[in-house]
Amino acid sequence: MEYVIEMLNIRKEFGNFVANDNITLQVKKGEIHALLGENGAGKSTLMNVLFGLYQPEQGEIRVNGKPEKISNPNIANGLGIGMVHQHFMLIDKFTVTENIILGKEITSGGRIDLKKAEKVVRDISERYGLAVDPKAKISDISVGMQQRVEILKTLYRGAEILIFDEPTAVLTPQEIEELMQIMKTLIKEGKSIILITHKLKEIMEVADRCTVIRKGKGIGTVNISETNPNELANLMVGREVVFKTEKKPSNPKQEVLEVKDLVVKDARGVTVVNGLDLTVRAGEIVGIAGIDGNGQSEFIEAITGLRKAEKGSIKVNSKELFGLTPRKITESGVGHIPQDRHKHGLVLNYPLAENMVLQTYYKKPFSKNGILNFNEINKKARSLITEFDVRTPSEYALARALSGGNQQKAIIGREVDRNPDLLIAAQPTRGLDVGAIEYIHKRLIEQRDHGKAVLLVSFELDEIMNVSDRIAVIYEGKIVAVLNPKETTEQELGLLMAGSSRKEAGEETHV
């Protein structure tokens, strides 16, 4: 059997904590090999070992059958291993080509030959079906495009084995479809791929085999043609997972959030929220469905005070919040699970405990006469860690050291625990494993059943359909339809999101 990569009995420790415990991963040439496991199971750690970012305490790595010591990423590159990280590492002010050749420039007569480099980039991009504009600046292109640049960067360096760490977590459904095609083309051209994703649908669609790890230990490898999503979920979590969230009908009461004629500009000064009206009542979950870039991010930023709105009214419990600071807004009963957890959710270099009181540290019992009470702060953190199953060595660990999904669980715990009247959840389950998604959905519904208003923004139509009591479709900065999830379909939603009128999209529905 020809394996391009063999990781045999790998052990990686962080202090007393064993992140990889005797894991074996064998990748065949020309296959897409999925790596599946709960948040914190040790997937990224294992890939960082392969890419030379971490040194294992035990185990052996073989590339094309030959034992290798991969002590840094340059050596990994030299062996034909490339990695596309979840957080891109591109320079905004540089062009696509400049980013791709960075550190491995094409020169003629001692100077960088951009013309020649652009041609090389164009050739690779055509060969693998990765359409990009070699001259475009990174700051001007979409996230999906930026990811293509990261892929091209690895191909330009001669990668034969590509590692993708949760590549679809930041993409829209359309971009995900394109990436799946790109991966298939890469395989046809003889590359091998290791794919980390929490989306079982994606694994079923593109992968040949899947290795499952649970709490740092290898559970086994299965052929995708002989398995199904339920079995994969069970292997990963070690119990049955329910994919559909059970909930009682909603019992909406008074209006909590009332937005009227809101206008918001984006960072470039373009009006992206354009006369938006929306109401969310106590005891209901309103889901916002829309294609990325239709104003949903700026809308949420305006409500939470992270972005200044131009005009309109934002009332919570009849109190006008327009123009208030984020802290005032928080104190008025608004909780926020932000879309970008690194920018707005956590201070990565603070311990987890301090992150759990980011909005409340100056209040009792966490602070008294201006002095922080760390006993109380740590106690609060420990109780949230237990309740929300945040997998971390302790409350003292830096937020940075938590796995992506566990960072997200920590933020959700903190926001839900503050018990706000209005809870805004923006892409709350992004990067979470199926078990954690199930749990988060239950908690959102529980908030609703306690009479709170919940505003959910998500690109996952499944999630919008399953969790919401009403669905508001956003298009070009306006709410163009409000639907009852029981009386609509993903098809109808898709059409409305793309700008079709309600009549074209299907039957009129009443909510």
Residue 244 CB, nearest approach to ligand ATP (Å) = 23
243 binds, among Mg ion, ligand ATP, none (CB under 5 to 8 A by kind): none
* Choice between 179 and 285, CB closer to Mg ion: 179
218 binds, among ligand ATP, Mg ion, none (CB under 5 to 8 A by kind): none
Residue 354 CB, nearest approach to ligand ATP (Å) = 17
CA distance linking residue 383 with residue 206, whole number of Å: 40
Residue 263 CB, nearest approach to ligand ATP (Å) = 38
- Beta carbons within 8 Å of 119's beta carbon, 6+ residues apart: none
* Choice between 425 and 432, CB closer to Mg ion: 432
Helices (H), ranges, 42-88: 43-50, 73-78
Residue 436 CB, nearest approach to ligand ATP (Å) = 9
* Choice between 153 and 430, CB closer to ligand ATP: 430
* Choice between 42 and 338, CB closer to ligand ATP: 42
HSE of 29, CA atoms in CB hemisphere, 13 A: 11
401 binds, among Mg ion, ligand ATP, none (CB under 5 to 8 A by kind): ligand ATP
* Choice between 42 and 287, CB closer to ligand ATP: 42
Examine residue 392 and tell whether it contacts Mg ion (CB under 5 A). no
* Choice between 81 and 445, CB closer to Mg ion: 81
Residue 32 CB, nearest approach to ligand ATP (Å) = 18
**DSSP H/E element including 93:** none
Examine residue 44 and tell whether it contacts Mg ion (CB under 5 A). yes
Residue 434 CB, nearest approach to ligand ATP (Å) = 11
Which of 40-48, 58-66, 290-298, 457-465 is the region at the interface with Mg ion (rule: CB under 5 A)?
40-48
CA distance linking residue 40 with residue 463, whole number of Å: 23
| Backbone φ, ψ for residue 56 (5° rounding) | -75, 150
* Choice between 176 and 385, CB closer to ligand ATP: 385
Going by their DSSP bridges, the two strands 66-68 and 58-63 should be labelled as antiparallel
Q: Which residues of 436-456 are buried (b: 16+ CB within 10 A; e: fewer)?
A: bbbbbbebbbebbeebbbbbb
Residue 405 CB, nearest approach to ligand ATP (Å) = 3
- Amino acid identity, residue 230? N
Which residue ranges make up the site for ligand ATP (CB under 6 A)? Answer: 14, 17, 19, 37, 39-45, 391-392, 401-406
Q: Cβ(493)–Cβ(289) under 8 Å?
A: yes
Examine residue 99 and tell whether it contacts Mg ion (CB under 5 A). no
Burial class (CB in 10 A: 0-12, 13-18, 19+), 268: exposed
C-alpha dihedral sign at 354, 359, 363, 364: negative
Question: Which residues inside 404-423 make contact with Mg ion, applying CB under 5 A?
Answer: 404
Q: Tell me the β-bridge partners of 472.
A: 288, 482
Residues in contact with Mg ion by CB under 5 A are 44, 404
